[in-house]
Structure 1
Amino acid sequence: MSQFIEACIRANEEIAAALQNSFDDTWFEKTEIGAGGDVSSRLDLFAESVFVKHLSHFGQIESEESGLIGEGDVKIIIDPLDGSSNALSLFPYYGTSVARVNARGILDAAVVCNLANGDIFVKTVQNKTRQGKLFSADFQDPKTVPGSEIGLFEKAYANSALIAMMDAEGLKFRAPGAIALSLAYAQTVNFVLFVGPFRIYDFAAGLALCEGLEVIVEQDYVIVSKDIDTVKKLEEMIKKTRSLEKEEVKNGI
């Protein structure tokens, strides 16, 4: 592993160790609107401070919480707490994401970690994706499931018409609420779907882990799957719902 990847792992281990016994009551407090547009909690800011401590000497950090931190030709894009609402509700599906963009503008390293169960996924400078556990030196190829029974649909609550179409087609899904984590698990599920406006913090690292899968990234939706037919079917559904919405607006419905 590179020094950068190792530093990311140490940062995640420090955060995980702090969370291991119980949440500090002050972490639930809300502070102010962060650079990503959401209100930051003290837990978000704690996680950010750990990443800044471990990664700031590698380049300029762009964080969902505080925006640009430090200087440098290398940019490190972080979401210090992916799935903040889950974490603050003690729902065990939350983690972190880090992506490094080198001086040539190429994303050459990424790390996504599930703090709730210790799964960690890394994209190395050799362009390989590896999966391991926090506090363990063992890494392997990402696990994959050929006949996945469910997909992951982030932001499903805002897309009722699309949900109805998917139900009619028998496309089962869950909506766990942490997009970087969901993208990291793309090898094990039927699909990962996000529909709505999105920010670079949420997707940079997760998408870097999806190399070799079928991926569609548009302005307001992202589809990832092992199966090209599933990707095409979902995109057709999205376009159909958009068409129906336009007709409803046109007819004043």
Structure 2
Amino acid sequence: MNPTVNIAIRAARAAGKVLLRYYDRLDQVKVQTKSRNDFVSEVDRSAEQVIIQELRARFPSHAILAEESGAQGEGDYQWVIDPLDGTANYLHGFPQFSVSIALRVRGQLECAVVYDPLREELYTAARGEGAQLNDRRLRVAGRPSLDGALIGTGFPFRDQRHIDAYLGMFKDMTLSTAGLRRPGSAALDLAYVAAGRTDGFWELGLSPWDFAAGALLITEAGGTVTDLSGGTRYFDTCNLVAGNLKVHQAMLELIGPHLSDALRA
């Protein structure tokens, strides 16, 4: 396996141990509110510290962009880290959360790890080397249209400026597919697209650490990831659509009529 991916796996597994250690005593976990519907706990911070320690031990000069501690350092190499994707789920004991770690080199995604510690599922990818779930090679589902498709999404729970546009997309997507799912961890949602468990995914108002690893998993599994207009600026817009080529295109056609100038930007 790619040696950089191996380091990221080690960091993700270490963070997963932190998450599981606290999971049986959530009533004792200290929680703070960052903003409306956005929480951080001592678990997030502890898991993030473990990840950064692991990465710094091997790559001391690399920059880091982490959900809780923000941007650290500058340079061509940047690790994008979400130590606990699905914090609200975790704090309620809802069993859908993950660790997400990705490496960008000069702005290009190079390696990715999404780890589900409850299920012991480890999703990994390296650019040009494909994507895997544990030891199994991943491919996106081959569904040719939205007919019968299962689509993942995420509700705009923090920034609700575009809630009407999102609800329009949600209605059209519901009427055109077999169903929508909102499990609550974008990193895992994207990993599920890569694994063919869902046929597509879209969400507005994400952060880079939510989708960086998942985006590489999907492209290395043969899928497509774009912004809402079908362009490549999803790291700038933080709005994202993903799926195989045909499903992705069909999703864009449903989303397009609901896009305001702000969402196209």
When normalised by structure 1's length, the TM-score is 0.79
Report the equivalent of 1:250: none
2:241 corresponds to 1:223? yes
Counterpart residue type for residue 190 of structure 1? D
Q: Name whichever of 43-52 and 210-219 sits farther off.
A: 210-219
Q: Name whichever of 196-205 and 6-15 sits farther off.
A: 6-15
Structure 2 counterpart of 1:213, from 207, 219, 223: 223
Structure 2 counterpart of 1:141, from 137, 148, 155: 137
Distance 1:38 1:69, change over 3 A: farther
Task: Give the secondary-structure state (helix, strand or coil) at the position aligned to 1:210.
Answer: helix
2:240 corresponds to 1:232? no
Report the equivalent of 2:123: 121
Question: Take 1:18 and 1:239, find their aligned partners in 2: how far apart are those partners?
Answer: 41
Structure 1 residue 144 displacement after superposition = 5.1
Report the equivalent of 2:43: 43
Task: Give the secondary-structure state (helix, strand or coil) at the position aligned to 1:186.
Answer: helix
Task: Give the secondary-structure state (helix, strand or coil) at the position aligned to 2:218.
Answer: coil
Q: Which one has a bigger Cα radius of gyration? A: 1
Structure 2: any 5+ residue segments left out of the alignment? 158-162, 229-236, 261-265
**Cα root mean square deviation, aligned:** 2.7
Is contact 1:56–1:70 with CA below 8 Å preserved after alignment? no
Question: Take 2:104 and 2:171, find their aligned partners in 1: how far apart are those partners?
Answer: 39
Moved over 6 A (4+): none
2:163 corresponds to 1:164? no
What are the Cα deviations for residues 139-177 of structure 1, in whole angstroms up to 9, with x where unaligned? 220265445741111227743222222232244111111
Structure 1 residue 89 displacement after superposition = 1.1
Question: Take 2:253 and 2:127, find their aligned partners in 1: how far apart are those partners?
Answer: 35
Structure 2 counterpart of 1:97, from 95, 100, 108: 100
Distance 1:24 1:53, change over 3 A: farther
Is contact 1:27–1:42 with CA below 8 Å preserved after alignment? no
Structure 1: any 5+ residue segments left out of the alignment? 133-138, 244-253
Is contact 2:15–2:99 with CA below 8 Å preserved after alignment? no
What are the Cα deviations for residues 178-232 of structure 1, in whole angstroms up to 9, with x where unaligned? 11111111131121111x223211121111111121333243632211241x323
Is contact 1:28–1:41 with CA below 8 Å preserved after alignment? yes
Structure 2 counterpart of 1:190, from 158, 181, 199: 199
Structure 1 residue 5 displacement after superposition = 1.9
Question: Take 1:101 and 1:216, find their aligned partners in 2: how far apart are those partners?
Answer: 17
Question: Take 1:170 and 1:68, find their aligned partners in 2: how far apart are those partners?
Answer: 39
Distance 1:166 1:70, change over 3 A: closer
Structure 1 residue 60 displacement after superposition = 2.0
2:86 corresponds to 1:78? no
Is contact 2:99–2:115 with CA below 8 Å preserved after alignment? yes
2:202 corresponds to 1:199? no
Report the equivalent of 2:24: 23
